[in-house]
Amino acid sequence: AAITIKVTGNQWYWSYKYPEDQGGGFGFDQLMKADADLVPGDVRLLSVDNEAVVPVNEVVKLQITANDVIHSYVIPAFSIRMDAVPGRLNETWFKAEKEGLYYGQCSKICGKDHAFMPAAIRVVSREKYDEWLAESKKKYSAAESPVKLAASETIR
């Protein structure tokens, strides 16, 4: 895989971590946008505040786990359906062949806000991905966030 991303299910949002050895070293949470925050072009109940980003035509490995209860990370366009289980690290991969924005959702009934747990991955050119990576490293590394990737934490 050219890129590895760790995806963690939480009640009721996803957390993403991009490893330092691949230009990342940061993490962020992905929550559904509230109706009041939607702008033209957003999709109600699917648009998120922070999209995960990957380059087109490259293999992306996802390591999937959960912090609390069993979730299921599903992105139908990539044929991904993987359980996120606390204490277990499941792996899958995909190779997006077309740029665009792809949506998914948690498909396990994981609690009262299960229906409000979308996932979104934006596929871009390698050049745009490298730009996003540099900008995001500054943005998320500077943030006081509990999901910021600690220097000692590695993705296997």
Per residue, the 3-state secondary structure of the chain, as one string, reads CCEEEEEEEECCEEEEEECHHHCCCEEEEECECCHHHCCCCCCCCCCECCCEEEECCCEEEEEEEECCCCEEEEEHHHCEEEEECECCCEEEEEECCCCEEEEEEECCCCCCCHHHCEEEEEEECHHHHHHHHHHHHHHHHHCCCCCCCCCCCCCC
CB 60 within 8 A of CB 95: yes
Facing residues of 83 across strands? 72
Q: Is the pLDDT of residue 149 over 80?
A: no
What is the tens place of the pLDDT at every residue in 31-65? 999 999 999 999 999 999 999 999 999 999 999 99
* CB-facing half-sphere around the CA of 5: CA atoms within 13 A: 21
Model confidence band, residue 109 (pLDDT cutoffs 50, 70, 90) = very high
Model confidence band, residue 154 (pLDDT cutoffs 50, 70, 90) = very low
pTM for the model: 0.89
Facing residues of 15 across strands? 8, 29
Q: Is the pLDDT of residue 17 over 80?
A: yes
Q: How far apart are CA 15 and CA 3, in angstroms?
A: 16
Model confidence band, residue 141 (pLDDT cutoffs 50, 70, 90) = confident
Q: Is the pLDDT of residue 79 over 60?
A: yes
Q: Is the pLDDT of residue 144 over 70?
A: no
Q: What is the pLDDT of residue 153?
A: 44
Give the C-alpha distances (Å, rounded to integers) separating 30 from 3, 14, 17, 21. Answer: 19, 5, 11, 22
Model confidence band, residue 147 (pLDDT cutoffs 50, 70, 90) = very low
Q: How far apart are CA 77 and CA 55, in angstroms?
A: 15
Q: What is the pLDDT of residue 26?
A: 94
